[in-house]
Each structure stands twice: as structure tokens, then as C-alpha cells.
Structure 1
Amino acid sequence: MTGLQKGLVGLAVVAVLGTAAAMALRGGSGRGVGVRMEEIQRRDLVATVTASGNIRARRSVDISSDVAARVADLLVQEGDEVEEGDVLLRLDRTQLEAARARAQASVSQAEAQASQQRANLTRQSREYERIRSLWVRDSLLVSRQQVEDAETNLEVARANMDSAEYGVQVAQAALEEAEDRLAKTVFRAPIAGKVTRLNVEVGETVVMGTMNNPGSLILTISDLAVVEVVVQMDETDVPRLALGDSASVEIDAFPDREFTARVTEIGNSAIRPPSSNAAAGQQQAIDFEVVLTLDPTDADLRPDLSATADIVTDLRPAAIAVPIIALTVREDTARAGEGAAAEMEGVFVVENGIASFRRATVGIAGAEYFEVVEGLSEGETVVSGPYQTIRTLQDGDPVQREDGPAGSGPSGD
């Protein structure tokens, strides 16, 4: 083979390799980049926000003790159903009964002293009337000084009588206090419900609370006729909520059931104020408490169960929808030099095998689709994956349909 022939063969090989490389860059065999495509349709979209929290009864009562005594009789167990007025437990009454007896004796003593002062007042009143009568008949028989002394003695007796009567009132008040403390050794259910917490046993001593130290929490009764879910919501989601919004609730203890609820309370202030975070030297998220009331259910719900709520914040029936994964960002060359944002949101629309980037304005976000407000029409085909391909895809690139694995739609990416 001559040198010329060898050169021609080499050029031919280079040409073939160059053509193959160019075709590979175009997506293989000149067919374009492999992508998934989806036709824009109308769909019912539901926008939700998700938050986690715990179950609680709307109405519950924590029962603590107002006296310090030993538990003598416990009549309920945790989980028992009780009616309003039912006796729950009794405390030892020995010391308090002795205190009541002392108070009763003090009342008797005060009443005796009052009787004595009442008799003294009667005697001083008679003495004053006798001396004054003599002085009126004949001022020589009784001096004015004697009349004034009798009058003074009468006033003193009257004051002693008032003091004795007040002493009776004080003693009676002490007796009432002793009887009240004695009555508080018997605990009755303030509401009907279930005993959801029991912290004492027979023989334990309960103590009363003070200004700085809480008293013994004996038990908690919860009325589970109305059950709530209390969740913490991020500050960015709170403006989207409204009273009455519906929600679906998943409770960890009932994995196979879905519960329905409605928003009944939205916190007006943060759970942890920013001032407390600043004092601790930490920048923490600002969360608000949101309360949802569960619809009636036959499930045996208990306070403190973990729950997750999906709250519906908006609905768009039959809205033009585009897959969430299809939305991407590209440089806005038209506004790049104006000092404005140099990026715009949009999707790649496929026409005749060519992907063209088109600006799109979206509204609410459903689970897998955005609402299209402007820029796209029903029936158009858009690139819907894979995610990495959409990131690198350029306006005008040729594309070809590529079937993805089962379940590889927008949510799968």
C-alpha cells in the first residue's frame, strides 16, 4: 500500500470516529437526549402543610393536694372511667381531725369569754344607770367624778364585749378552715372521664404546693369525648392556615387508619419567643401552636400519642397542572442587564423532538404537580425527568422519549 493510500485510509477512519462522536453528543445515533415526557392535563390539586405533634383531650383536670398527708385509701386505677363526684382516694385524717378538735375547743373557749364579757357589760351598765340616777336627783349624793368613772367603766366593758365577740368569729373561722382541710382529704372527680395518669400509691405522702415548689400531682382525669391534635407549625406555614381548614391525621399507634380533623385554634404568639432564644445565644426556628379537633371516632385514643397532620390549605379543581420535577430555572438573558433577578422559572416544552425552554408561572403545589397560572396550555408535552437531565438540558436540544422504571414519576425523582 502506497503512502497516499495509507493517508486516505487514515482520513476515513478519523471521519468515521468524528461522526460517531458527534452523534453520541446528540444523544446517540442522532435521536437526541433520552428524557421522560408527560402531556399537560387538568388535575384536581390539593395544597397541604404537614406538621407533627401529640394527642390530647380538649378537657382534662390535674388533681393535686391542698394538704400534706398519707394516702390511706386508693379507689381507682389508671385507665378507669369515672363519673363526676365519684370518690377517687382518701388521705389519712388523724392529724387533721385533731386540728379540728382544737379549733372546736377554741370556739367554745371564745364563746365562754364572750359570755363573761357580756355579763360584765350588763353589770357595768346597771352600775352606770344607778350612779347617774342618783346624780340627777341630788348632785350632793354622788359626785360628777363618780358618774364619769361609771361611764368609763361601761365603755371599757362594751369594748371588751366587742373584742370577745370578734374572738368568737376568729375561732369559728379557724374551725371552718380545719373542717375544710379535713374535707380535702377526700378527693372526688371534678369531671366525668378517664383516669389517664395516676402518680401515687397507698402509703405515699402527698404534699401541698408553695409559691416556688409545686405540690404533688396525684392524678389526671381526661374527658376523651373531644380529642385534639396539638402540632407545632413553622412560621412560614402559619399564614396559609385558616380556622376550619380540614386535615387528615395519621397516629403512630394506628398505622392502618386515617383520621379526619379541622383546625380550631391557631396560636397568636410563638411557642418560644425570640427574646428567650436571644438570651440563650441561639438562633432557633419560630414555631406556633396549632390545634386540630378530631372528628368523632371509635378508636381507643389516649393522650400523648404521636400524630402527623396534613392540613389542606387550598384546592384547585380541574387546574392545568405540570409535574413538579419539570419546573426548572434558567438565566433570563432579557433582564440580566437591568439589575433585576437574572433567573426565571419554566419548563422544557417538546415539539417535533426539540426541547424549548418556556417561562411558566405556577400557583399552588399539590403532592406531585404545580398549578399552571400562565405560560402553558393543556395538551402540550413537557420534559418530566430525569432530574439530572433537566438540570443540564439546553434550549433547542433534540430529545427522545425514554421509558423510565415503574413508579419513576415526579414523586419518585
Structure 2
Amino acid sequence: MKIKLIYLILIFFIIFSCQKKKARELLTAGISRGPFVETLSVSGLLEAAESVDVNSPGFDRQFILIHLIPEGTYVNKGDLIARFDTGDIDEQIKKLEEQIETQRNDIENFQANIRENMIGLSNQLSEKINTLDIEIAGQSALQFAPKVDQLKGELQLSRRYMDVSNAEIKIRTTANNDTMALRIKNNNYAKVCRDRDEYLRRREFYNVYAPTRGLIVYQPKGPWTREKIRVGDQIRRGFTYIIIPDLEKMRVKIEINEIDVNRIRKKMACGIILDAFPEKKFTAELASIGALAHAKHNNNEIMVFDALANIKEVDTDVLRPGMTARVDIILSYLPDARYIPVDTVFSTDRRTGKIYINTGGKPAARMVSLGERNSDYIVIKDELPPDTQLLLYDPAIEETEFKIDEYKIIKKEQMNDKTVINAISEVSNRENSEESAVPPVKTKIKPSKPDKEPITAGAPKEDNGTKTQDAHEKIKSAKPFSLNALKTEKPELYEKIKKFLAEKKLDEKVLQDAEKRREIMRELGIGRQRSATGAAAEKK
């Protein structure tokens, strides 16, 4: 039984030591020295420097997509890539063809009527001419008749000449009118035919074929959204809904905050990291910077400048339009500099910042002059000892949060000690039911030194045996949390916590639980969360 107890104690002690080691490793970071690259990091979207746009037809108002070739498909020139709904235009073509048929029949009937009318008028003219000939022959017989009869004959002959003349005029007038009417009908017929042919020509644009070989890339529905087109969408006329890019000439479109635009210049070198392939690195050159600022799409209060960075490498298998990427614009290079993680600098105004030095006791605050920076580190100009350890959190904020990290360590150690004691008692009760079998454990278990000393970010190795002992002393002297103590020291924080407890209908006793207290602090937004860059700095 004693062997089991010893094994159990050792197991819990190992777990306890590892947890303390991990907690200590996340507290500090050291000062690094060496080459430093100052960068400005922004995000952007890949696009082709040269591409062919596929636009919707430039007539009508809207078109409905009923077929789209899958995005990312590699097509050859002449391949069908999209199709629009032809229902409306087919109906228009059908109506025009019906009009053409009707007008064609009308013209044919009109021409037949013209021929019949001309035949009738020609017959009438012939009769008039025959009558005139008869009158002329009769007039020669009246040369020896009385004068009155001769005058009557001449009058009759004049009427016959008039009848012939009127008949000829009627024929010419009717022919002219019929010709004009026929021309109008033919013009109307031709117009309907042209309309029909125009719709047939437009219908060819409803089947869209690739103008060149390349990769199919869908475009967003508008500048206000990243949602891309899909089957069933209504596309306005002249809208670019597909592009076929040249994948051998790629660039990144980025937005530069107006605060930083004076720090960059054309032809600056850039590093490109794709979000989808972070292991691949590309280089680029800043090609252009916009002359005018505009509001950021998702935040009208921020003004930005558009810029383009041309990628130097060619990788048609990886570089695709629309991919998101991080662009690190290289502003300057320092061959030898002292720099610290950005998570160790607080209350910065870009020229000075506050740091907290780990002195083994209460952290010492110090203002330092700052220099160049990037997304992970900041150059410091002040002289500091090489083995200086800086806190990765703001003790002022942590104190406001009731020393959450300290309570975290103490809570874990208390739980571990309590678990060991309970486990020992449980084993004792199970092995021996006699009261005197195993006495209650009242002494604190003294931890031994870990096999390896904890390594902090950028810090030299050091002995942590005394720190382990200090942690046990904290456990021994830890006092329960009191909300009333904040009433005079931190009245604003006190009111904020009281209001939260009232809204959630929670009792103040819940704050005695460190885990629940941390959850409450997170919901209230109190405290400073460590960033991913800080974690990266610790590993280094």
C-alpha cells in the first residue's frame, strides 16, 4: 500500500510540475539582437496583371444565367463557358416571324389586286379608245351635214378624247398609288425581317464561348460583396462576370492606410505569403500607389489608398486570382539591432513605450525609446542588459483582473495538492478500513527540481527551484477574493462587476471560483489577450 501511495504521489507531482513549468514559460520574453527588417504588413487579393474580361451582352437590361462552366476549369478558345436564358428573345423572334409571314401574304395579295385593277383599267382605256375611233369615223360623214350637226359631232368627239385622257390619267394615278403603297408594305416587311435578323444575331450572344484559352475565374456580384455569380443570377448588361487571366503575370491588390502611405515608395521590395499556402514564399515589387484616397469598403471611417505589387515568380499551380495573401512591404533593413516582441510593449505612441522588467519580485516599469517595427517585433534604442526578461502582459491590467495569471497558478497548485490528498485518503480507505491505517496528510508536499529548467522566449536558462518554493508559499498564503475591496480602490470596475452579476442573477460567491471568475472577466472584456505573435516570440 505504501508503494502505491508513493507512486500516486509521484504521478501527481510530475503533472503538477509540468503545469507550473508551462505557466512560467508563458510569462516572459527576452531581448534579441541581430539583423532586423522593418515591414508594413497588409492583406490583399491576387489578380492577374493581364486578363480577358467576359462581359454580358450590351443590349436589353438583364440576363438570367442558366449555365456556367465550373470555376477553375481550364478552357480552350471557342469552348462553351456560359449560357443565358433565351425565353424572352425566342418569344420576340417568334412574334416577328409571324409578322413576317402575315406581311408577306399581305404583299402578295396586294400585288395580285394591283394586277387585277390594272387589267380592268386597261380594258376601260381600250373601250374608250375604240369609242373614240368610232366617233372619228362618224365625224368624217358629217362634213356635208348641217352646221349644227357638225358642231354636235365635234363636241361628242371632244368628250371621247376626254374620256380616253381621263382613263389614261386614272391608270397612271392608280399605278403610282399602288406603287407607293407596295413600297410602304415592302419597307415594313423589310423592317420586320431586319428586326428578326437582329434578334437572331443577339441570340448568338446568349451562348458564350471562350475568347481565349485560360482559367475560368468568377467575379463578385458587385463591389460591395465578395459573393460570386452563380446559376440563376440576373446579370445586368455589360457586366463583367468572368475573367480569363494570364496566370504567368500575377499581382496583389492591396489597400494602404492613409497613416502609412507616406512610408512607402514605388519599387519597394515585398514578401508575399498566401493564406492557403503559408509554407510557400513569393517576392514582389510595389508597382503603383493610388493618387487619391477612398473609404474602406467595410469601414467608411477609414481612408485608404489602392496599391499594386507585381509578383516576380511564376507558379500557375498555386497562384490563382481571388486568393487572399499577406504582403510585407520592406521599409528598411538594420544589420544590427536590439528588438523585443510587440507583446512586451504597452502604452506606445510609436516613439516611446512602457515595458515591464521581471525583477523576480514586483515588475519594474520603464519607458523606452522605440524605433523600427514589424508585425512581431519592435526595435528599442535604449541600452538594456542582454539577460533582461520582459513581461508578456501588462501587470496593471492583470492587477485589475485580480491577478488572474497568479490565481491560475495558485488554483492549479491548490487543486493538485487537494487531489493528491484526496487520492491518498481514498486509497487508504479502500485498502484498510481501520481508522488508524492511514493518518490524514497535513504536510505540504515538497516538490523537487524539474529535470530541465523552463525556457522563456529569448531568455537564458535559470534555476527555478526557488520559484517552485515561492509558488507553494503563495498557495499557503493565498486569500479568498473580496469584491468589496474593489469598492474604494476600483469603483468603476466594482460597479461593472456588480451590474454584470445583477443582470446574470449570480451570487457574489461565484467570484471565489477562479475559473468562473476568469470567464466573467472575459465576458466583460477586461484584460489583454495574448496575440499569436507573442506566442511565436516565446517559441523563438
User: TM-score normalised to the size of structure 1?
Assistant: 0.51
Amino acid at match of 1:383: E
User: Aligned to 1:52, what secondary structure does the other structure show?
Assistant: strand
Contact kept in structure 2, 1:83 and 1:189, CA below 8 Å: yes
Amino acid at match of 2:181: N
For this pair of structures, how many residues does the alignment match? 293
User: Aligned to 1:293, what secondary structure does the other structure show?
Assistant: strand
Amino acid at match of 1:171: V
Aligned residue among 308, 319, 325 for 1:307: 325
Contact kept in structure 1, 2:273 and 2:280, CA below 8 Å: yes
Partner of 1:392: none
User: Aligned to 1:239, what secondary structure does the other structure show?
Assistant: helix
Aligned residue among 267, 292, 305 for 2:290: 267
- Rounded Cα–Cα distance in structure 2 between residues aligned with 1:122 and 1:182: 40
User: Aligned to 1:284, what secondary structure does the other structure show?
Assistant: strand
Contact kept in structure 2, 1:106 and 1:171, CA below 8 Å: yes
- Rounded Cα–Cα distance in structure 1 between residues aligned with 2:321 and 2:32: 46
Partner of 2:315: 297
Deviations 1:268-310 (A, max 9, x none): 333428xx99xxxx97111122222222125423333221101
1:244 to partner: Cα distance: 3.1
User: TM-score normalised to the size of structure 2?
Assistant: 0.41
Contact kept in structure 2, 1:192 and 1:223, CA below 8 Å: no
Contact kept in structure 1, 2:274 and 2:323, CA below 8 Å: yes
1:168 to partner: Cα distance: 2.2
Is 2:96 the counterpart of 1:103?
yes
Partner of 1:242: 265
Unmatched runs of 5 consecutive residues or more in structure 2: 1-29, 130-156, 219-227, 341-350, 353-368, 392-454, 461-533
Aligned residue among 54, 73, 84 for 1:80: 73
Change (3 A) 1:81 1:37: closer
- Rounded Cα–Cα distance in structure 1 between residues aligned with 2:198 and 2:383: 81
Partner of 1:53: 44
Partner of 2:303: 286
Is 2:190 the counterpart of 1:169?
yes
- Rounded Cα–Cα distance in structure 2 between residues aligned with 1:253 and 1:228: 16
Contact kept in structure 2, 1:96 and 1:178, CA below 8 Å: yes
1:100 to partner: Cα distance: 4.0
Is 2:383 the counterpart of 1:383?
yes
- Rounded Cα–Cα distance in structure 1 between residues aligned with 2:309 and 2:32: 38
Contact kept in structure 1, 2:114 and 2:178, CA below 8 Å: yes
Contact kept in structure 2, 1:48 and 1:310, CA below 8 Å: yes
User: Aligned to 2:212, what secondary structure does the other structure show?
Assistant: coil
1:125 to partner: Cα distance: 10
Greater per-residue strand proportion: 1
1:199 to partner: Cα distance: 6.0
User: Aligned to 1:164, what secondary structure does the other structure show?
Assistant: helix
Contact kept in structure 1, 2:253 and 2:307, CA below 8 Å: yes
- Rounded Cα–Cα distance in structure 1 between residues aligned with 2:380 and 2:115: 98
Partner of 1:229: 252
Unmatched runs of 5 consecutive residues or more in structure 1: 1-35, 326-343, 346-359, 373-381, 390-403
Deviations 1:299-347 (A, max 9, x none): 423333221101234568x7xx76467xxxxxxxxxxxxxxxxxx99xx
Change (3 A) 1:157 1:253: same
Contact kept in structure 2, 1:45 and 1:371, CA below 8 Å: no
User: Aligned to 1:264, what secondary structure does the other structure show?
Assistant: strand
Contact kept in structure 1, 2:99 and 2:192, CA below 8 Å: yes
- Rounded Cα–Cα distance in structure 1 between residues aligned with 2:233 and 2:116: 52
- Rounded Cα–Cα distance in structure 1 between residues aligned with 2:91 and 2:250: 45
Aligned residue among 238, 245, 253 for 2:276: 253
1:179 to partner: Cα distance: 1.6
- Rounded Cα–Cα distance in structure 2 between residues aligned with 1:86 and 1:62: 13
Aligned residue among 374, 394, 407 for 2:458: 407
1:239 to partner: Cα distance: 3.2
Contact kept in structure 2, 1:38 and 1:384, CA below 8 Å: no
Greater per-residue helix proportion: 2
> Greater relative contact order (Cα 8 A, min sep 6): structure 1 or 2?
1
Partner of 1:351: none
Contact kept in structure 2, 1:227 and 1:293, CA below 8 Å: yes
The more displaced of 220-229 and 169-178 is: 220-229
Amino acid at match of 2:183: D
Aligned residue among 160, 180, 200 for 1:159: 180
- Rounded Cα–Cα distance in structure 2 between residues aligned with 1:221 and 1:38: 47
Change (3 A) 1:387 1:145: farther
User: Aligned to 2:197, what secondary structure does the other structure show?
Assistant: helix
1:254 to partner: Cα distance: 1.2
Alignment of 1:318-337 (within 5 A): 323=338
Change (3 A) 1:369 1:165: same
1:249 to partner: Cα distance: 0.6
Change (3 A) 1:37 1:302: closer
Partner of 1:395: none
- Rounded Cα–Cα distance in structure 2 between residues aligned with 1:324 and 1:234: 25
Partner of 1:142: 162
User: Aligned to 2:254, what secondary structure does the other structure show?
Assistant: strand
Deviations 1:12-31 (A, max 9, x none): xxxxxxxxxxxxxxxxxxxx
